[in-house]
Structure 1
Amino acid sequence: MREGHTTVTRRLDYAPPAFWIDTVDLTFDLDPTKTRVLNKMTLRRNPDQAAQPLKLDGDELNLARVLVNGQGTSFRMEGEQLVLESLPEGHEPFELEIFTTCNPEKNTKLMGLFLSGGAFFTQCEAEGFRRITYFIDRPDVMASYTVTLRADKAKYPVLLSNGNLVDEGELEGGRHFAKWQDPHKKPSYLFAVVAGQLVAREQRIISRSGGEHLLQVYVRPGDLDQTEHAMNSLIHSVLWDEARFGLPLDLERFMIVATSDFNAGAMENKGLNIFNTKYVLAKPSTATDADFDAVESVIGHEYFHNWTGNRVTCRDWFQLSLKEGLTVFRDQEFSMDLASTPSARAVKRIENVIDLRSAQFPEDGGPMAHPVRPDEYLEIGNFYTSTVYEKGAEVVRMYQTLVGRDGFRKGMDLYFQRHDGQAVTCDDFAQALADANPDSDLPRLLPQFKRWYSQSGTPVVKAEGNYDAAARTYTLKLSQSCPPTPGQPVKEPFVIPVRLGLVAEDGRDLPLRLEQGSLSQEQGEPTGSMTYVLTEPQATLTFVDVGSEPVPSLMRGFSAPVKLDCNYTSEQLLRLLAKDSDSFNRWEAGQQLGLRVALNALSSSANALPERPLDDAYIAALREVLRHPDLDAAFKALVLSLPDDDYIAEQMEEMDPQRIHAVREAISVQLATELRDDWEWAYEQYKDTGAYQPDPVSSGRRSLAGMALSALCVWACKTNDAVWPGKAYQRFKDAGNMTDRLNALGALLNCGHELAERALTRYYELFRAEPLALDKWFSLQVLTSDRSGNILPIVQKLTRHPDFSLRTPNRARSVLSSYCHGNLAGFHRLDGAGYTFWADRVIELDKLNPQVASRLARAMDQWARLAQPYRQAALAAIERVAAKTDLSNDVREVITRTLAAEATDAPSSEIHEDSNSEQKANS
């Protein structure tokens, strides 16, 4: 994608386009090696801009003809841009006709028009439309599209584009055509075309407002039996969005199409969503509970974009979180609203936080750290990040916390009333929420709140509590800081909603009564939970009438995307784990206890690991959770899951991946051994779930049974017991669903039992013709705990497997990303061989698909925090990639930023006092 350019794009340089495009009439003659595209546009000069040439973006196009108002005209090329100067004067519309050809068969970048499985697909976000035709390829240029597709009918019987089908028919020579018209203006990144041998599951529905709509899910012949869950998820999405936000489906039909070759998960093209098969196809024999859950979530996400992203879109790509952060929040709310119980809602929330911490927190602490609204980029594809998406969603969630659920709905209503059909900014969204809630604190706090968009890094909230028994008061001191990030050494205070409670010894939430003046905005009767909005660097809260020493329960429900530093004792964490009414903090207490044990072991000067890292009290607490009669199995599984290697590593200034893994393994073995009888009880209690259903209760039971089986196999291999590996292999063979089958196979792999090889062979024979199931076969081998140091040879062997291909993103990720991103100890080898493998694959992939290569390149984000000898070997590998002169911008930007992360003494992490006295007021 324009590999030659090195221009940095900056947010503050934004200017409206010199021309507007009102209508676009495209005609495609589809051919694998030479697709012809006739582009007829109506344009007019922007009266608010000075007269200047028309510059149209292009990439790897063959230009054949340019006509202005039907006449030939002069033009020139500036790099990949087509420049026209001899255009009509004034501001009246004129017609521009451009005829080009392109070669979809050679398009390995999978941007623009490409082939997958013999069918045509497009991907235009962010800058792929310029690979189809010359255009002003930016999101604030919104036009009305009419599209005519012509192709061989036998090879491409299905012809799809955005909007409504207005005409179709036969052509000479066995060809046919279809004409589509989109009733809504859209930017070029939402354009889509699909043509091929496809079949559809169809469902007609009547929406809450009475409209009748046709829903279609298109897949390859033979995959139709895997689309029922996708259709149900789409129906639920349509109904939920209208019920929760009053947003109806605005098209006669809504189409989803699945392809196995796709760089992303899915794309929200108006009315014609194109999906990675991973997020459409699901049946119990080949898809896990997590797959079913992901299908529902991603289909919801893309459908919700129909309004938050399509009807109201981004003015420029710096505003990406305007659509992505908001829509991630909406799909999270959708999944939680569909959960049948409060516990299931809590599990969804915890899973969202786990995702944020595993991807976004490290991003905030690495060389690619950037604000939710970035200020500059070399390649926009590198900023489709967890910061923009998941942290952006947390920013939206904080709006809802500040104005309430009803207030948030009022803000959304005003947002669409003001901006429907427009390309706008994050500021426009924020202003609508503030204006719709004039009696809330948001209007006053908004200038400061918007620092969440402009400041990078993860804030740290430090809390210190003190109980005065004589005065019956509890004092809570809060402070905030934010570590330095690239280009931002010092930060100003954030607006941080702190949801809190005080937990008594018996587990009750104490009534919250604040000393006069401590919280000026708190109104109403005392309650057991409240939100304090921290806006200053420091604040002190004093609670009165506190009869016994409580334990503070802070950041309940993860009320802000921050790290909490609290002076909890182990006994206090155990109280929260056992008794906190807030499910998130109950889980979090267990995580912090496990993390504390791991960090203490890692900080020991002794090389030998402690024989019993966990003390009796923690073991007893986990036993109580495991056997608790009232807790859902899914929640138990989360509490009993130890912090993973990457999360432990993130807490350390200097990390030794092999030692981190060894410590976590020691803790896992202790848990497997000392809870052995409890694991057996849990396995027998939860292993049978009846006929497969992907509901939260059933999937939670399968998750806990799988965890128990894995622990029992670890115990068995340590004690040379043959019974449990045999049971695991039998469960693998007899499993009636993929979740149970993979849990059993994973248990055998992770304990290194010889039956694992037999199971892998059997799995391959069963699923070699199922691409998504085979991806799991590749990935699971790579993610196996690296006890023997043999993971890299396995990875290298898998890359030579006849079913492996770098050209298919899902398959490439199943091996390369699983290894480099997902197996800390396997990748970070003392001999540096993992880094050599990484460098070779990044260079190789970059020539085929820069987007996939740039994501693989980010496996080295944290290299500067590695201990020696890892660090030197990692640096050598990064420098070898950087030395390549023909790198794409996607990879070069990542590598350049990564090299800039040389370990240096960090500046102070304290934040500056805010000079604005109004913003300093506590809310």
Structure 2
Amino acid sequence: MSDNQTSPVTAVQPAAKRLADYLPPDYLVPALNLTFRLAPQTTRVTAVSQIERNGEHQRPLILDGEQQQIEQVLVDGAEVAYQHTDGKLTLANVPAKFELTLVTVIDPQGNSSLEGLYMSDGAYCTQCEAEGFRRITFFPDRPDVLSRFSVRIEAPTEFPFLLSNGNKVEQGRLDDGWHYACWQDPFPKPCYLFALVAGDFDLLEDNFTTKSERDVKLQVFVDKGNLNKAHHAMASLKKAMAWDESRFDLEYDLDIYMIVAVDFFNMGAMENKGLNVFNTKYVLADEQTATDEDFHGIESVIGHEYFHNWTGNRVTCRDWFQLSLKEGLTVFRDQEFSSDVGSRAVNRIHAIKVMKNHQFAEDAGPMSHPIRPEEVIEMNNFYTVTVYDKGAEVIRMMHTLLGEQGFQAGMKLYFERHDGQAVTCDDFVQAMQDASGKDLSQFRRWYSQAGTPELTVTDSYDADKGVYRLDVKQFTPTRSNEQPKLPLHIPFSVELLDNEGNSLVNELLELTEASQSFEFDVKGGAPVPSLLQDFSAPVKLHYQYATAQLLVLMGFASSEVARWEASVSLFSQAVWQNVARLQQQQAMSLDSSVIDAFRAVVLHATQDHALSAEMLKFATANSLIEQVEQVDLDALFSARDFVIDAIADATEDELLARYRELVGQDNAASRSFKNAILALLARSADGHESLLTQQFNAAEGMTDALGALAAAVAGSADCRDELLEQFGKQWQDTPLVMDKWFTLQGSINEDSVLQRLTGLQDHPAFSFNNPNRVRSLLGAFASTNLPQFHRADGQGYQFLTNVIKKMNGLNPQVAARIMTPLIQFSKFDAQRQQQLKACLQQLLDLPDLSRDVYEKASKALGQ
């Protein structure tokens, strides 16, 4: 192909990138100067790079770039020949050290993928992680090329705020009503951390004084009219900054820290150095429009992105296979932050739910991968619960094994060794090992082995010797193309209680072999074991608990998390017993001891209300599915509904009395407990519609209003549609609240729900161009309304397939993320598997199929 010619796009099967093929970059870019002349369809980008050859070689310079029009390519000021083909710009015979100038034109307004530079409600915004920078200019778009960025932004004065990374060094007026701002980031960073925002916002300002007495300016930018909803985000930021100093001895390093909230965003938020871009969902909140859960989520995500300043920015990833290096570690840090400033037990329960409801399913599905993947086709597909949440569990296991002091010593050594570098997961583990003296060589297998390990535990008691014995076997399932998996280093926390609930033993065991035995001196009879306390490792536990044992644990385990786990096991056993009865064509029933156990939760006078609420938020169908190898979906749905309804009916009087006691208690824990009770009352024989409407109409905040509405929807109350209509009219101009409304609409368990969802796609508040709207209405339906998504006629599958077809052309990232329910079918009956595979084949037959969707569909079909 001749120089300066662009090749056509060809429909070839995307190739996988492999960790084993990693090579250091051929060229480094110590400094990059960017100038943006912003225009909606013709933004001109001038990129001046200082480039140095990395090592002794004569290979060409190859830069990544997509969706750009090239105007000029200069090497040391002189025009040069180049090749532009298949997203690459190639320059041959370049000097060992030179200045490269590139002038390109891009179209932010036409960029519906929301990667690179795009427009969100009239403002310019960027998203460059993982590989979006190549849509801004041609560059070695990989995380191990670190540059010092200088940025100049030019725009009309109708965009008064011109923001980028680092510190502002200059601003001024230009001709014809334009102005400019210049920013310099003193810290080298990979291009995925670059950010630019230009727009007109409301601004909330504050300050934070660091431990070394440096004054940092804090700024939160929100859409006009939303300033009153930014105060919780600001308070959360200051709380996170103080916590990181006190717990991890880490101080902020720039003169300014900025957060910008935008409504069009593929992710939750992005940690760009000094300029974090957030989905409005994780910034805007007041009591009228946000629930207690929203307030908690904002605090957590604000903390997460701030904590990335060190774990992700100052020390970053060598390559994208190391993504869990920054994400798993930072999720662990934000979990600890939430636990230190809130309820440790409830925060731990929420993390466990994510693992059991979602990550275990990912491990069992076609996209199963270790927390450090071995190969990828589209990196955007690997921002997964495995990389993030299982990655955090792996960090937590290290913390458990080393203790707080040893872990903090490892963190300190990690930063001393690697500040300003792009490193690997192995570098992190090595720092932990060297600082603590703990041998973590076997533990490293957690990074390279996919799948959920399973622990099978049996026990015995020798009454004559007073010895209790635990026999533990560990096994990780393998796929047909995998080698047998080796034993892992697993922290296994155990408490032994007597039948009156007294704690006899509380010990951390370490599993390192395929089979191990442990003996304990226990007098007075066989103890009740609380195994894998606080979910001390991300594994499936197989132990045949008797109902009597679970009742002891629910009432007396020293760990609140263990009490909750016992309640989940008790409920799950009741469901599976009734699944078996249905399969044997027997009548369903529920033992009175199970009812009494949950009655005790309702009546418990001293237990934390938030913990009681979690015990009454019964295991979801998703989590139940992950407990078995094969599932009869129809029987499962019927059995689960039966058990919940039976508990609600039998405890109706106690529920009603407790509800009335909780009315007026103005704290998040009591509201959570009250709304969990209301949801059960809505499912009882009476239905208590008067309570639903009374709470809805009297609600002084979103938590109680939504609690009543959700209970009406889940309980199929007669007042449901009236309340939905009232809620929709009240909040039709508030997008984030309408997202909650859309989600509830999609959760209605009636055959007419698909018709309802189709009609709502024409609602003025809905847009396929906005990821929040698509996720709330359509993604939530497929992931939470399992009876309707998995309906026997296959219409639920086809409905989602049609949505993915549409999103494939608009926003491939969102298309791939909402398609997960289509690919996790191995446990279902043959008819449903066939229907799902047919839908996936429809996607593979699309002529313009994105890499994002192709990777998931092809892996699901084994291609």
Fold equivalence (TM over 0.5): yes
**Are 1:86 and 2:86 an aligned pair?**
no
**Are 1:395 and 2:394 an aligned pair?**
yes
- 2-side partners of 1:892 and 1:603: how far apart? 38
1:471-502 Cα deviation digits (max 9, x unpaired): 11111111101112474352100000001111
C-alpha displacement at 1:180, in angstroms? 0.3
C-alpha displacement at 1:658, in angstroms? 2.8
- 1-side partners of 2:848 and 2:606: how far apart? 60
Mapped contact 1:2–1:80 kept (Cα < 8 A):
no
**Are 1:559 and 2:536 an aligned pair?**
yes
C-alpha displacement at 1:875, in angstroms? 1.9
C-alpha displacement at 1:751, in angstroms? 2.0
Secondary structure of the 1:209 match is coil
> What is the aligned partner in structure 1 of residue 744 from structure 2?
780
- 2-side partners of 1:648 and 1:712: how far apart? 23
Question: What one-letter code is carried by the residue in structure 1 that aligns with 2:378?
Answer: E
- 2-side partners of 1:301 and 1:45: how far apart? 36
**Are 1:38 and 2:38 an aligned pair?**
no
C-alpha displacement at 1:86, in angstroms? 3.1
C-alpha displacement at 1:2, in angstroms? 10
C-alpha displacement at 1:621, in angstroms? 1.3
1:689-748 Cα deviation digits (max 9, x unpaired): 34xxxxxxx212111111211222222xx34x6xx2022112111200001001111121
Aligned residue among 477, 496, 506 for 2:500: 506
Specify whether residues 609 and 252 from structure 1 end up closer, same or farther in structure 2 by C-alpha distance, changes over 3 A only.
farther
Mapped contact 2:598–2:647 kept (Cα < 8 A):
no
Matching of residues 363-402 of structure 1 within 5 Å: 363-402=362-401
Mapped contact 1:367–1:486 kept (Cα < 8 A):
no
TM-score normalised by length of structure 2: 0.97
Aligned residue among 231, 244, 248 for 1:245: 248
Aligned residue among 322, 325, 329 for 2:325: 322
Aligned residue among 48, 62, 76 for 1:55: 62
1:95-116 Cα deviation digits (max 9, x unpaired): 0000000000010000000000
> What is the aligned partner in structure 1 of residue 649 from structure 2?
673
**Are 1:103 and 2:107 an aligned pair?**
yes
Mapped contact 1:497–1:532 kept (Cα < 8 A):
yes
C-alpha displacement at 1:685, in angstroms? 1.6
Specify whether residues 359 and 2 from structure 1 end up closer, same or farther in structure 2 by C-alpha distance, changes over 3 A only.
farther
**Are 1:541 and 2:518 an aligned pair?**
yes
- 2-side partners of 1:823 and 1:838: how far apart? 12
Is 94-103 or 558-567 further displaced after alignment? 558-567
1:618-649 Cα deviation digits (max 9, x unpaired): 11111112211110111001112221111112
> What is the aligned partner in structure 1 of residue 760 from structure 2?
798
Secondary structure of the 1:281 match is coil
Secondary structure of the 1:37 match is strand
> What is the aligned partner in structure 1 of residue 485 from structure 2?
491
Matching of residues 159-238 of structure 1 within 5 Å: 159-238=162-241
Is 361-370 or 727-736 further displaced after alignment? 727-736
- 2-side partners of 1:416 and 1:168: how far apart? 35
- 1-side partners of 2:759 and 2:392: how far apart? 40
Secondary structure of the 2:596 match is helix
TM-score normalised by length of structure 1: 0.91
- 1-side partners of 2:12 and 2:118: how far apart? 22
> What is the aligned partner in structure 1 of residue 24 from structure 2?
16
Secondary structure of the 1:286 match is coil
- 1-side partners of 2:447 and 2:116: how far apart? 30
Question: What one-letter code is carried by the residue in structure 2 that aligns with 1:683?
Answer: Y
Question: What one-letter code is carried by the residue in structure 1 that aligns with 2:435?
Answer: A
> What is the aligned partner in structure 2 of residue 77 from structure 1?
84
> What is the aligned partner in structure 2 of residue 610 from structure 1?
587
> What is the aligned partner in structure 1 of residue 677 from structure 2?
708
Unaligned runs of 5+ in 1: 511-527, 691-697, 902-923
Matching of residues 114-125 of structure 1 within 5 Å: 114-125=118-129
- 2-side partners of 1:795 and 1:652: how far apart? 31
1:254-294 Cα deviation digits (max 9, x unpaired): 00000000000000000000000000001111111110000
Q: Percent identity?
A: 43
Specify whether residues 315 and 5 from structure 1 end up closer, same or farther in structure 2 by C-alpha distance, changes over 3 A only.
farther
Aligned residue among 592, 597, 608 for 2:574: 597
- 2-side partners of 1:605 and 1:153: how far apart? 69
Unaligned runs of 5+ in 2: 1-8
> What is the aligned partner in structure 1 of residue 800 from structure 2?
838
C-alpha displacement at 1:508, in angstroms? 1.2
C-alpha displacement at 1:800, in angstroms? 2.6
> What is the aligned partner in structure 2 of residue 295 from structure 1?
298
Secondary structure of the 2:810 match is coil
Report which structure shows greater RCO (CA 8 Å, sep ≥6): 1
- 2-side partners of 1:561 and 1:505: how far apart? 28
- 1-side partners of 2:613 and 2:14: how far apart? 48
Matching of residues 661-810 of structure 1 within 5 Å: 661-690=637-666, 698-715=667-684, 718-719=685-686, 724-784=688-748, 786=749, 788-810=750-772
Question: What one-letter code is carried by the residue in structure 1 that aligns with 2:200?
Answer: Q
Aligned residue among 28, 32, 38 for 2:36: 28
- 1-side partners of 2:251 and 2:530: how far apart? 40
> What is the aligned partner in structure 2 of residue 352 from structure 1?
351
1:639-670 Cα deviation digits (max 9, x unpaired): 12221111112223332333221111111110
- 1-side partners of 2:328 and 2:104: how far apart? 36
Aligned residue among 559, 562, 587 for 1:582: 559
Mapped contact 2:632–2:829 kept (Cα < 8 A):
yes
Matching of residues 461-480 of structure 1 within 5 Å: 461-480=455-474
Is 618-627 or 771-780 further displaced after alignment? 618-627
- 1-side partners of 2:715 and 2:248: how far apart? 49
C-alpha displacement at 1:3, in angstroms? 8.2
Aligned residue among 613, 629, 634 for 2:610: 634
Mapped contact 1:507–1:581 kept (Cα < 8 A):
no
Question: What one-letter code is carried by the residue in structure 1 that aligns with 2:47?
Answer: N
Question: What one-letter code is carried by the residue in structure 2 that aligns with 1:461?
Answer: L
- 1-side partners of 2:210 and 2:637: how far apart? 52
**Are 1:128 and 2:104 an aligned pair?**
no
Mapped contact 1:369–1:486 kept (Cα < 8 A):
no
- 2-side partners of 1:118 and 1:503: how far apart? 62
C-alpha displacement at 1:4, in angstroms? 6.0
- 1-side partners of 2:595 and 2:325: how far apart? 45
Secondary structure of the 2:739 match is helix
Mapped contact 2:582–2:635 kept (Cα < 8 A):
no
Question: What one-letter code is carried by the residue in structure 1 that aligns with 2:678?
Answer: L
Mapped contact 2:356–2:626 kept (Cα < 8 A):
no
Secondary structure of the 2:800 match is helix
Mapped contact 1:165–1:180 kept (Cα < 8 A):
yes
Mapped contact 1:381–1:890 kept (Cα < 8 A):
yes
Specify whether residues 799 and 655 from structure 1 end up closer, same or farther in structure 2 by C-alpha distance, changes over 3 A only.
farther
Mapped contact 2:358–2:622 kept (Cα < 8 A):
no
Question: What one-letter code is carried by the residue in structure 1 that aligns with 2:433?
Answer: A
Specify whether residues 773 and 372 from structure 1 end up closer, same or farther in structure 2 by C-alpha distance, changes over 3 A only.
same
> What is the aligned partner in structure 1 of residue 141 from structure 2?
137
- 1-side partners of 2:194 and 2:260: how far apart? 14
Aligned residue among 822, 825, 834 for 1:872: 834
Aligned residue among 3, 7, 12 for 2:15: 7
Mapped contact 1:301–1:328 kept (Cα < 8 A):
yes
Specify whether residues 844 and 607 from structure 1 end up closer, same or farther in structure 2 by C-alpha distance, changes over 3 A only.
farther
- 1-side partners of 2:311 and 2:586: how far apart? 52
- 1-side partners of 2:77 and 2:257: how far apart? 36
Mapped contact 2:58–2:93 kept (Cα < 8 A):
no
Is 591-600 or 298-307 further displaced after alignment? 591-600
Question: What one-letter code is carried by the residue in structure 2 that aligns with 1:203?
Answer: D
> What is the aligned partner in structure 1 of residue 286 from structure 2?
283
Mapped contact 2:357–2:626 kept (Cα < 8 A):
no
> What is the aligned partner in structure 1 of residue 416 from structure 2?
417
- 2-side partners of 1:120 and 1:861: how far apart? 35
